[in-house]
Structures are given as structure tokens and as C-alpha cells.
Amino acid sequence: MEQLRQHLDIDRWLLFGGSWGSTLLLAYAEQYSDRVSEIVISPVTTTRQSEIDWLYDGLSRFLPKAWEQFRAGVPDNNSDNDIVAAYARLMENSDSKVRIQAANRWCAWEDAVVSHETDEDEQPFSSGSLNWRLSFVRIASHYFSHGAWLDENQLLRDANQLIGIPGVLVHGRLDLAGPLKTAWELDRVWSDAELIIVDNSGHTGGESMRMHVREALDSFAD
């Protein structure tokens, strides 16, 4: 990102992103705070190990059937009992059939996580092209199996680097994939941020979340 900013000859820029993009922009902003003018995040995640564990294990308490199907994609000899790392290994398998099956099971789980937010027949992950599914799962499982190469709580710990940067955090109360707690914790350690909680939205957002995001972006454009 910093190389891109330099290439485009931008002095300071507004950062906007959500989900994994939230993690990426926070990591960037904490390292290059003097190059960031404002930040808008929707939804908020920091890719802590606890967040990864929740998404790919803890949610089994809410979606037991879907999680059993997700877990069934992992070989019985998964000695480290790390489902994300196991999928990362499957995505490196030399057999394309193994990679495709793993990608399909992973995407089916992602669809289940947001199923309460979408139409009954909508499958935002599984409906992607085969190349997209393979790429998405390979990248996601690789990054998440390494904790995104971040120390646990690193982005919250270093949030003092964001002081002086105005920010707006828009997060849905119904977000199962990335529970509100992370946005709440970030808001508490980032004094220049405003947290907007949208009661009727989840991880994928909705018109209410989009409205708040537009308002935040418009306010910084003035």
C-alpha cells in the first residue's frame, strides 16, 4: 500500500475497507500514520487468533450441522487439530480434485455463516467461479493458518498510533462472522474514532450500513 501511495504521488489519503480489508488498513495506518488523513471501516476485524478460532470453530455452537460438514473435509489424521491449517494443507495438494473439494467445503461454511443475512437461495461464496473459489480459499487459509503474521492483539495494542486520525467504525450487531466485541474494543482504545452500531445488519451489511458508510465518507469529503 505504501508503495502504491508513493507511486501515485499521494501525500495523505483516506483509507476505507472492511473485514480482511479492516485488518490490512489498520496494520498500514499504525505503521504509516503520518500518511493517513481519515479512516472508515465497515465491518471491523483485526484477525486475532481468537477471531479466527471463533469464525472457524466457535460458531459451531450456532451452526452445528454446517460445521460438521466443514469439519468432515479435514482428514482424520489431522494431528494438530487445527482445522484452518488442515485446509491450508489441502489447498496445496497436488491433486486438483482434493483442492476443489476443500474449496467447496470452505465456501459452503462461509455461506452458512452469513445465511441469516442473505436470501434463502443466495450463496455469495459458493456462487463464485471455480478459479475464484480456489484462489479465495487458498489465500484465506494460508493467511489465517499463520495468524495473518500478526501478534495476538497487535492492532489493538498499537492503536495509540492512530491518535489524531479521525475514524468511523460501522458494525452490524448481527455480525456472526466478526462479533461486535472487536469494534467495541477498537473504539475504546482509539479516541478519535466514532463507533456506529447498526442493529439490523450483519457482516455482509445492508442498506442501513451502506447509508452510514456513505455519510462518513461524505463528511470527510467536505
Provide the annotated active-site residues: 19, 175, 203
Among the listed residues 157, 159, 155, the one whose alpha carbon sits nearest the alpha carbon of residue 147: 155
How far apart CA 138 and CA 128 sit, in angstroms, is 14
Residue 13: burial class (beta carbons within 10 Å; 0-12, 13-18, 19+): middle
